[in-house]
């Protein structure tokens, strides 16, 4: 074997040393800037009948509580105690209050004569996850309706509940119809609402499509997402986040599709038909509102065919339907997302949806 010339060995050594120094500098920068983030980037702090939803940043400027303000912290001192001092990492907050029925609304009395009462059921997209209540699409709709016809009393009941699926939304719809006698019942259908077939794989699946959602910690009075020990080296953690995020996105899309395979989705369709039938029997107008996932809406939304199938199903069953996808398509995801790691709707998404409902509900 021919020995390596001294000059070549020196060049290789210098190159290797340069790589090591470069990696060391990169690692130091990642450590200082906390990339990838050690979190938490989101916390929920629970009280009696209310909670704080707290984020590390507020890209839309809609969150109305700043925990860096001592006066604000004093108001929520008991809730913040559960954060064990980590509130400083998530200072942008929104308070969510619930009525006696667990709805994000005021106490609801008997409908007065002449009042247009609209009830909207759904999951976190409806109740306004991470938003002040006034910016949820049910409340924006109420404001728009009152502005359109100031002389007519209007009530919009926000009967959205975070994390609910059709097995729980059906009894909620029936209770809303019986208890509140709405003139219109809107079901804000999001694509993770269907009944779960036994074949649906949900382990490590999070519909919001960010690997940081997998880092979940629950303690007394507190839920934290993204709170983790990143470890060393951070370069390895960064690579792991990238590959994990790509894999999770692919599997999550497959999960959405499994929920909407024709045979798997059939029981969910039957639930929607029962809700519509119950509403119609009580003289209540029923509207199915389809809310798209914020995922490649600007270019190649991957679930268009699912929307089309649900619209066809609604028409075949005589159900009034509004698909929000056409109105939201073409916009960059960042313009519609609440947070870079949270694909819940921001105020603009809700404004567009409220406008669609206004246009349809203004019709006789």
Which structural domains are found in the chain, ordered by start? Answer: 42-97+198-255 (no CATH), 116-197+261-361 (3.40.50.1110)
Is 258 in contact with 201 (CB distance < 8 Å)? yes
Of 192, 119, 195, the residue nearest 344 (C-alpha): 192
Is 154 in contact with 116 (CB distance < 8 Å)? yes
Which single residue is written with the structure tokens 């390895």? 236
Query: What pLDDT score does 215 carry?
Result: 78
Whole-angstrom distance, CA of residue 132 vs CA of residue 155: 18
Q: Which residue has the higher pLDDT, 216 or 296?
A: 296
Query: What pLDDT score does 6 carry?
Result: 72
DSSP strands (E only) in the chain: 42-46, 50-55, 65-66, 92-97, 116-122, 154-160, 184-190, 216-219, 222-225, 285-291, 320-323, 337-339, 342-345
Evaluate if residue 79 carries a pLDDT over 90: yes
Is 342 in contact with 333 (CB distance < 8 Å)? no
Whole-angstrom distance, CA of residue 194 vs CA of residue 54: 28
- Strand partners for 288: 187, 321
Tell me: the pLDDT tens digits for 154-210?
A: 999 999 998 888 999 999 999 999 999 999 999 999 999 999 866 555 555 565 556
Average pLDDT over residues 139-144: 98
Range in 2-6, 162-166, 325-329 with the lowest mean pLDDT: 2-6
- For every residue of 40-94, DSSP letters joined together read -SEEEEE-SSEEEEEES--TTS---EETTSHHHHHHTHHHHHTTTTGGGG--EEE
β-bridge pairing 285-291 and 222-225: unpaired
The pLDDT confidence band at residue 217, using thresholds 50, 70 and 90, is confident
Whole-angstrom distance, CA of residue 192 vs CA of residue 315: 21
Angle CA(202)–CA(207)–CA(212) in degrees, nearest 5?
95
Tell me: the pLDDT tens digits for 230-288?
A: 555 655 555 555 555 566 778 888 889 999 999 999 999 999 999 999 999 999 999 99
């Amino acid at each position: 074997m021919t020995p390596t010339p001294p000059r070549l060995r020196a060049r290789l050594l210098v190159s290797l040393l340069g790589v090591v120094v470069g990696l060391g500098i990169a690692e130091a920068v990642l450590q200082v800037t906390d990339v990838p983030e050690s979190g938490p980037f989101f916390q929920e702090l629970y009280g009696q009948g209310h909670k704080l939803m707290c984020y590390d940043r507020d890209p839309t400027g809609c969150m109305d509580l700043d925990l860096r303000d001592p006066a604000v912290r004093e108001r929520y001192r008991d809730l913040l105690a559960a954060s064990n001092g980590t509130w400083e990492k998530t200072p942008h907050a929104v308070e969510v209050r619930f009525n006696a029925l667990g709805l994000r609304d005021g106490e609801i009395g008997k409908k007065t004569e002449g009042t247009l009462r609209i009830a909207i059921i759904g999951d976190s997209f409806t109740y306004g996850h991470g938003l002040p209540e006034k910016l949820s699409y049910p409340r924006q709709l109420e404001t728009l309706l009152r502005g359109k016809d100031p002389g007519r009393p209007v009530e919009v009941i926000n009967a959205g509940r975070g994390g609910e699926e059709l097995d729980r939304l059906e009894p909620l719809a029936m209770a809303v119809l019986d208890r509140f006698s709405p003139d219109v019942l809107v079901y804000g259908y999001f694509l993770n609402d269907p009944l779960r077939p036994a074949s649906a794989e949900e382990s490590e699946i999070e519909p919001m499509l960010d690997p940081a959602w997998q880092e979940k910690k629950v303690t007394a009075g507190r839920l934290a997402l993204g709170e983790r020990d990143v470890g060393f080296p951070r370069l390895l953690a960064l690579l792991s986040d990238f590959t994990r995020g790509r894999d999770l996105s692919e599997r999550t899309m497959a999960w959405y599709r499994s929920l909407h395979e024709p045979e798997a989705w059939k029981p969910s369709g039957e639930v929607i038909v029962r809700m519509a039938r119950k509403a119609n029997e009580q003289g209540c107008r029923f509207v199915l509102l389809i809310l798209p996932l914020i995922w490649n809406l600007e270019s190649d939304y991957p679930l268009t065919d699912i929307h089309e199938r649900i619209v066809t199903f609604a028409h075949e069953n005589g159900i009034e339907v509004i698909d929000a996808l056409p109105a939201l398509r073409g916009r960059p995801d960042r313009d519609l997302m609440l947070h870079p790691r949270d694909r819940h709707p921001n105020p603009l998404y809700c404004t567009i949806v409220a406008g669609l409902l206004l246009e349809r509900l203004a019709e006789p």
